[in-house]
Amino acid sequence: MTGESLRDLFARAEELEGVEREELLRAVGRRDPDLARELEELLAAGARADSLLERSPYDLETIADPVSLPVEIGPYRILREIGRGGMGTVYLAAQRGEGFERLVAIKRLDRRGASPTSERRFRDEVKFLAALEHPGIARFLDGGRAADGSAYLALEYVEGSDLLAHARQQRLSIDQRLRLFLEVLAAVEYAHARKIVHRDLKPGNVLVGADGRPKLLDFGISKLIDPDAGDSSDAATTRTELRALTPAYASPEQIRGGPVTVASDVYSLGVVLYELLAGVRPFQSASGDARELERAVLEQEPEPPSTAARRALTEPSAPRGGPEGGVANASDAPDAPNAPNAAIRLGRDLDAICLKALRKEPRERYASVALLAEDLRRLLAGLPVLARRGGLTYRLLKLARRHSVHVAVAAAAALLATLFVLLAVRTSGSGPVARDARPAPPRPRPTLSRIGELSARFAENPGQPEIGLELIATLLAAGRGDDAMGAVVRLRQLPGELGKGPRIDLAEAEAALAVSEYQRAASAAGMAREGALRTQDATLARRAQVAQARALLRLSTPEEANRRMAELFTAAEAAGDEWAAVAALVVRAVAARKGAQAEEAERLVAEALPRARALGEKRLEIETLTLRSRLEGESGAVDQGLATLEVALALAREEGDVASEASALLMKMALLNWGGDDEAAVEVGKLAVHRLRLSGDREQLLTVLANTAIQRTERAQFAEAEAAIAEAEPIARSLGSPRHRGAILRTRGYLEEQRGDRPAARASYAAAVAVGREAAVDSVLAIYLNDLAWLELYDDNFDAAAIAAEEAVELYRRGGDERGALEAEPVLACVDAARGRVARARKRLAALTKGADESDSESARFVVLIAEARVAEIFGELPRAVVLRRRLVEIAVGFELPGLVMNQRSQLALALDRAGERSEATAIAKELLPQAERLGLGDVIRECREILDHAGTLPAPRTAL
Amino acid sequence: MSPREVESGPPPGEVTRLLHAWRGGGEAARERLIEHVYAELKKIAGAHLRGERRGQTLEATGLVHEAFLRLVPQTRVDWRDRAHFFGLASTCMRRVLVDRARARAAAKRDPEGYVLTGAPFGARSSPEELLDLDRALERLATEHPRLAQVVEMRFFAGLEVAEIAECLALSERTVKRDWAFARAWLLRELEKGV
């Protein structure tokens, strides 16, 4: 009897009852008694088997009172629960569509009974969120109501580790952490531009996937969960929101139940950044009590993250790398990146940035996420950060502010930081290019006569690339990058194979390094290496690797350069190539410092220095010494760093190597500046600029020159300013980027305006606006428009002024730059007044005055005050205008800028003249005129002459600023 | 799930390729598939149980479904792939659970108090129950291989009757009959207490 028939019989019998079933059994028994017995047994078992295998095998396995899992929510099939929080439960679910199926996350919300209004708002919000589409934001798919009436949201399912865990697991350096954080900021910025505030930013809401890219979860969700939250009109309900929040990351206003804005997200991001860098949060509650924590958030000032990181390191509770502490790699500490070095690197700028984001008052924080991001980018690029130098750098960033707004800028300090960035990679790009691996004979000093001689020989013997290569090597040794690049170009033009080959590729790579063309350096070095390997010239290949790694320091990560140089070091040691070995050590040291591993950098420097010395490689020796001085300075030993630098400088001078000397000089500026000796720093700076001119680093030079021009213009030293601009203009053109060109145009316009050449200034500002449109960077364009608006206003071109100012205000606001808007909007108040819209002008002025007072920005206050004076003049409130003008002069005197003071005094004289106080007006004009003539302040000269000319008659109603 | 775990899975498209090869009669493909699916299920179940969720029933359907969505790229889903996958996944799921039960039973016997590294499912029922069932299923498979398959799918993978019918190319009615017979058969076997 086959199984099938037993199964068939069983199925048949199962459908029968009582007598009929017995009959069937008897019938079977007659044919096969065994089969009948088995069938009977099975039927009996079947009757008891109802519960068998009904429980899932996991029931056997889970601890638990089984809570039923919904099978479906909306169109989604629930797979399992993946999370549970204050706001509800999160499930993993499958969405099955036509021809596809995917995993999604479903949030079922514990939401209070919804009124029709809130229901509509829920639906609107859902639509709104569904429009958010950014690679850094988990997609919001859908929202609706489940069969049981509860609200649910369907979101993209994201897999990954949370931000802090990722940074810890991957042992990210500070730079890597910052770059990752910048990606997070970009996503938040995107949402903010669409008026969606996150309101619950925390590391757990930032998942980093297998591809290393972060994704933000739950954007705008907290508002859905509690639709009334954040509505400042209803403080009672906002308070309830906190339960869904994570107090450790909530802003003071969220805890207080105040309005939740973009600034709240800025704050939460500040906490996340702080924790990402320091490994601890800014506020802790020892007892774990939420109220205590809230009080701390509301009342305590957070300590700087660098201090917190250092403390976390020394406190016994914080795990250390090893028992000795010394060699132990502190990156083993749980959160802090390379903790001891972090404590050093975190200093100053990062402290300032974190603390600015963490201000208690929303308006004191970064006005937008974009500005926070910009500051971090500036930090990464080694530029002065906005947070640190407050309003001053703010203006420097924008190059020149309007003359009337100018404040004495600690320009030298800011400029230093700008220059400082390139130091690490700056110096020696070149090894002995046209040499073989044998110990190099002492290289002839790259004297001018030597360069001239080689140059002439190269010109006379175009068929001998050897001479060209030697010329390039000599030029590079002298630090003359531009000239070396020129020689490379000439070599390349040689016919046939003469202009090709790995040695010429390497020469190009090293020259490109010297003039900051890193992409070009990397590709030329790559070609040199391949070619060298083909011709089996291992020494040349190693040199190419060094050049490549130097380019990678700028193009890629320090880790990458370090990895490559570690490999090269081993190979060079094995081959007995001492130059390559030492160069590899030096590049690794630079990379370690860039990667915030100061101790490792120090160790490598100590290893490289004696070997460079023994080898007679002065250039590597100078570079190493300069790096050592930087490490010393960064660890606080400024004097020691300066002493180290003197050795480096002496060597560089002896060698006639201007590039190395310029780098050492910039380092000296920085150290003097850190040590507080600004005067000396400025003097060293002049020398550094001189050397930079020779070495050919154009970008660096442009920055220095532009800043110099502004400084000089502010001090009414127009000839010097003009010279700096004249030198900067061709550089800006050759660099080609609209930003560079725009900056110089604006600098020139500022000079022209100060000199009183108004048509020229208008042309320069208008050109800057055109370039700004080309650059398509709102924040930059806004600045240029602002310049133009004030110029037009001064000349009573109200329509043009209004058009430019309106666009500037809009662009500033769009970028979240309230302070910028405060500087452009006063123009509109003046235009209102001039057009006779009295009430509107007054209302606008009142709002601006309030905004300026709250902004804590000197320049904003100053500009608004100017507008007030101007409006008073337009309305004919002459005594009031005089009072305001007097105040402006006082403030200007405080800025200690002669040009600004004289401008304001001349405006005061005009106001006095109009108000009938002619004797004082004349006295001021008489005093001002000779000074203005000496300095060449065109506007002041004109105005003074005007007052003096019609002394005794009623002056024309000039209302100039 | 850490990025590293995600990376260690089969390359995208691999499972689909193997499914096709298996459907074309490749037994080697089946072995490779089982490896991948087993690893994936173990990972999901493990990750889930490490999450210390209290008060929630783990649903086999969900696990298998999740494994499917993770392993098979969902751009162009061939429903035959799906059926084959689910059939195979039930075998794998059985292995995952039996392996765990075996480990737990061993831990219980070990006087040293052997502790499992991956948190065990729980302590509520005896792992022996599941092991007995596994052995009974083995015997059922020798006599009625298809019935054993139906039980695997229904019990270990939590598939619905319709899904099982789809996987095995049977009518739903046949699946229902098979299920009733298999349960009776297994109960009798278990009661014998071999």
Task: Tell me how far apart the alpha carbons of residues B73 and B76 are, in angstroms, rounded to a whole number.
Answer: 7
- A62 contact residues in B (CB cutoff 8 A): 56-58, 121-122, 124
* Sign of CA pseudo-dihedral A120, A123, A126, A130: negative
CB contact (8 A) between residue B66 and residue A79? yes
Which pLDDT band holds residue A440 (cuts at 50, 70, 90)?
A: very low
Helix (H, G, I), strand (E, B) or coil at A212: coil
Q: Given A142, A175, A200, A537, which residue is catalytic?
A: A200
CB crowding A280-290: b at 16 or more within 10 Å, else e? bbbbebeeeee
Contact at 8 Å (CB) between A199 and A230?
yes
Nearest CA in chain B to A46: B184
Residues A438-443 have a mean pLDDT of: 37
Which chain A residue is nearest to residue B64, measuring alpha carbons?
Answer: A79
Alpha carbon distance A656, A624 (integer Å): 17
CA atoms within a 13 Å half-sphere pointing along the CA-CB vector of A127? 5
In tens, the pLDDT along B23-51 reads: 787 788 888 888 888 888 887 776 655 54
Q: Quick one: what percent of chain A has pLDDT higher than 70?
A: 77
Q: In what order do the strands lie in the sheet with A151-156?
A: A72-73, A76-85, A88-97, A100-109, A151-156, A140-145
A41: nearest CB among B154, B183, B188: B188
Residues of chain B with Cβ-Cβ distance to A60 below 8 Å are 121, 124-125, 129-130
Higher-confidence residue of A700 and A607: namely A607
Q: DSSP H helical segments within A226-304, as ranges?
A: 235-241, 252-256, 262-278, 290-299
Closest CA in chain A for residue B120: A61
Confidence of residue A368 (pLDDT cuts 50, 70, 90): confident
- The label of the residue with tokens 């099982």 reads B164
- Please report, in angstroms and rounded to a whole number, the separation of the first and last CA atoms in chain A: 113
In terms of average pLDDT, the best of A203-212, A375-384, A655-664, A943-952 is A203-212
From its phi and psi, is residue A97 left (phi > 0), alpha (psi between -120 and 50) or beta? beta
More confident residue, B176 or A444: B176
> Which H or E run includes A130?
helix A116-130
| Nearest beta carbon to residue A57 from set B61, B156, B187 | B156
- When CB atoms are compared, the residue of B100, B122, B183 closest to A53 is B183
Q: Is the pLDDT of residue A570 over 80?
A: yes
pLDDT at position A274 is: 93
Q: Which has the minimum average pLDDT: A86-90, A336-340, A646-650?
A: A336-340
State the number of CA atoms in the 13 A half-sphere of A38 facing the CB: 16
Mean pLDDT of all residues in A611-640: 86
| CA closest to A7 among chain B residues | B181
- Can you spell out the DSSP letters for A333-381? SSSSTTHHHHHHHTTTHHHHHHHHHT-SSGGGS-SSHHHHHHHHHHHHT
DSSP letter, residue A137:
B
CA neighbours within 13 Å on the CB side: how many for A435? 18
- Kindly state the average pLDDT of the residues A62-87: 65
Looking at the partner chain, which of A11, A45, A60 has a beta carbon nearest the beta carbon of B177? A11
Q: What's the rounded Cα separation, in Å, for the pair A188 and A178?
A: 15
> Which residues make Cβ contacts (< 8 Å) with residue A316, sequence separation at least 6?
none
A743-775 tens-digit pLDDT: 888 889 988 988 888 889 999 999 999 988 876
Residues 8 to 47 of B: which have CB under 8 A from any A CB? none
Is B181 in Cβ contact with A46 (below 8 Å)? yes
Averaged pLDDT of chain A: 76
Confidence of residue A110 (pLDDT cuts 50, 70, 90): low
Summary count for chain B: helices (H), strands (E): 9, 0
**Confidence band, pLDDT 50/70/90 cuts, at residue B72:** confident
Q: How far is A77 from chain B (nearest CA, A)?
A: 9
Q: Residues 99..158 of B with a Cβ closer than 8 Å to A: which?
A: 100, 120-125, 129-130, 143-144, 147, 151, 154-156, 158
Tell me if A551 sits within 8 A of A525, measured CB to CB.
yes
Cα A505 from Cα B56, distance rounded (Å): 66
Higher-pLDDT residue of A941 and B101 is A941
- A420: pLDDT strictly greater than 50: no
Q: Give A99's contacts in chain B (Cβ within 8 Å).
A: 76-77
Banded pLDDT at A581 (limits 50, 70, 90): very high
pLDDT value at position A924?
93
What is the per-residue pLDDT for A152?
A: 84
Q: Which of B1, B54, B77 is facing A101, going by the closest CB pair?
A: B77
- Name the more confident of A720 and A925: A925
Confidence class for position B178, pLDDT limits 50, 70, 90: very high
| pLDDT greater than 80 at residue A68 | no
CA-based nearest distance B22→chain A, Å: 22
Calpha distance A21→A15 (Å, rounded): 8
Q: Are A516 and A422 in contact (CB under 8 A)?
A: yes
> Among A243-252, A623-632, A669-678, which range has the highest average pLDDT?
A623-632
Q: How far is CA A446 from CA A441, A481, A614, A625, A857, in A?
A: 14, 13, 21, 21, 52
Name the residue in chain B with its Cα closest to that of A72.
B62
Distance (Å) from the alpha carbon of A154 to chain B's nearest alpha carbon:
16
Dihedral-angle region of residue A4 (phi above 0 means left; psi in -120 to 50 means alpha; beta otherwise): alpha
pLDDT digits (tens, 9 = 90+) for B97-152: 788 777 767 665 544 433 332 222 333 346 677 788 888 899 999 988 899 999 98
Interface mutation target, options B78, B137, B178, B181, chain A, most CBs of A under 10 Å: B181
Give CA–CA dist A820/A780, Å, rounded.
11
* Contact criterion met (CB < 8 Å) for A58 and B61: no
Q: What per-residue confidence (pLDDT) applies to B27?
A: 80
Predicted ipTM of the assembly: 0.77
Residues in B closer than 8 angstroms to A101, CB to CB, are: 69, 74, 77
Instruction: Name the band, by pLDDT with cuts 50, 70 and 90, for residue A489.
Output: confident
- Residue A821 CA, chain-centre distance (Å), reads 22
Residues A176-183, mean pLDDT to the nearest whole number: 92
- Centre a 10 Å sphere on the Cβ of residue A100 and count the other Cβ atoms it contains: 12
Q: In what order do the strands lie in the sheet with A214-216?
A: A161-162, A206-208, A214-216
A175 and A557 in contact (C-beta within 8 Å)? yes
A657 pLDDT higher than 60:
yes
The residues facing B92 across adjacent strands are: none
Q: Predicted confidence band at A847 (pLDDT cuts at 50, 70, 90)?
A: very high
pLDDT of residue A857: 66
Among A467, A426, A435, A425, CA closest to A616 = A435
Q: A338-352, A446-460, A809-823, B93-107 — which is least confidently predicted?
A: A338-352
Classify strands A161-162 and A214-216 as parallel, antiparallel or unpaired: unpaired
Average pLDDT over residues A839-850: 91
Instruction: Give me the residues of B, 90-109, that contact A with CB < 8 A.
Output: 97, 100
For residue B106, CA distances in Å to A300, B114, B127 come to 56, 8, 9
Q: For a pLDDT cut of 90, what percent of chain B falls above it?
A: 11
DSSP characters over A376-401: HHHHHTTPPPHHHHHHHHHHHHTSPP
pLDDT of A389 reads 42
Sorting pLDDT into bands at 50, 70 and 90, what band is B71? confident
Tell me which of A516 and A218 has the higher pLDDT.
A218
Give the pLDDT confidence score for residue A291 in this predicted structure.
79
pLDDT at A692 over 80: no
pLDDT attached to residue A442: 38
- Calculate mean pLDDT across residues A146-155: 80
The nearest CA of chain B is from the CA of A229 a distance in Å of 30
**What are the chain B neighbours of A76 within 8 Å (beta carbons)?**
none
Burial A228-238 (b: 16+ CB within 10 A, else e): bbbeeeeeebb
Cross-chain residue pair A82–B59, CB shorter than 8 Å: no
Residue A789 clears pLDDT 90, i.e. is over it: yes
Tell me the three state secondary structure of residue A97: strand
CA-to-CA separations, B47 to A684, A768, B96, in angstroms, rounded: 61, 58, 13
pLDDT above 60: residue B55 = no
pLDDT at A25 over 80: yes
Q: Is the confidence at residue A858, as pLDDT, over 90?
A: no
Per-residue pLDDT, A296: 85
Confidence of residue A422 (pLDDT cuts 50, 70, 90): very low
Contact A79 B61 (CB under 8 A): yes
The answer to whether the beta carbons of residues A202 and A272 sit under 8 Å apart is: yes
Q: Which tokens hold the place of A127?
A: 């639509």
Chain A residues within 8 A of B70 when measuring between CB atoms: 103
For residue B163, what pLDDT is reported?
84
Measured on CA atoms in the order A518, A522, A528, A532, is the torsion positive or negative?
Answer: positive
CB contact under 8 A, A60 and B124: yes
Rounded alpha-carbon distances, angstroms, from residue A894 to A523, A676, A887, B194: 53, 22, 11, 101
| A678 confidence band (pLDDT: 50, 70, 90) | low
Is A200 catalytic? The answer is yes
pLDDT value for B133: 85
Are the beta carbons of A61 and B124 separated by less than 8 Å?
Answer: yes
Q: Name which of A466-480, A623-637, B99-113 the model is least confident about.
A: B99-113
Residues A462 and A494 sit within 8 Å (Cβ to Cβ): yes
- Which chain A positions have a beta carbon within 8 Å of B186's beta carbon? 49, 52-53
pLDDT of residue A344: 40
Chain A nearest-CA distance from B81, in A, is 12
In angstroms, the separation between the Cα of residue A3 and the nearest Cα of chain B is 7
